[in-house]
Amino acid sequence: MRKKSFTLFLTLILIFIFSILIVNIFETKSISLNNIQKQYSYIQAKNHLEFLEEYIRNLKDFNTIGKIEIEDKNFIIFADIIKQSKKHKVDLYIKSKLYNISIHKKLFIDISIK
């Protein structure tokens, strides 16, 4: 009887130890996957920012435009164009709808060059 109870007790302890290890492994994998998803989203946001900057730099007429918005299912993408004396100040904003990721960039575009 003692041998069976000892075996049962040892089995329960081993199951407990392995279950704790498995939970820790799954938590680590989950955190790693979440970080990879956020990193991917940040790279996408930077790509959107570069595209928006290139698009604005290639615009011919800034006088009729005050705000640019681009619709995307994962990001909020817009630019505010503020007219100043000889330059236009452009604020570019990219914000993820899924994660707490946002990128902002200011541009100053000389009107005399255009």
Q: What is the pTM of this model?
A: 0.72
pLDDT tens sequence across 91-106: 999 999 988 899 999 9
pLDDT tens sequence across 47-64: 999 999 998 888 877 667
DSSP 31-72: HHHHHHHHHHHHHHHHHHHHHHHHHHHT-S--TT-SEEEEE-
Residue 111, pLDDT > 80, answer no
The band of 109, judged by pLDDT with boundaries at 50, 70 and 90, is confident
The band of 1, judged by pLDDT with boundaries at 50, 70 and 90, is low
The band of 110, judged by pLDDT with boundaries at 50, 70 and 90, is confident
* Domain boundary assignment for the chain: 2-110
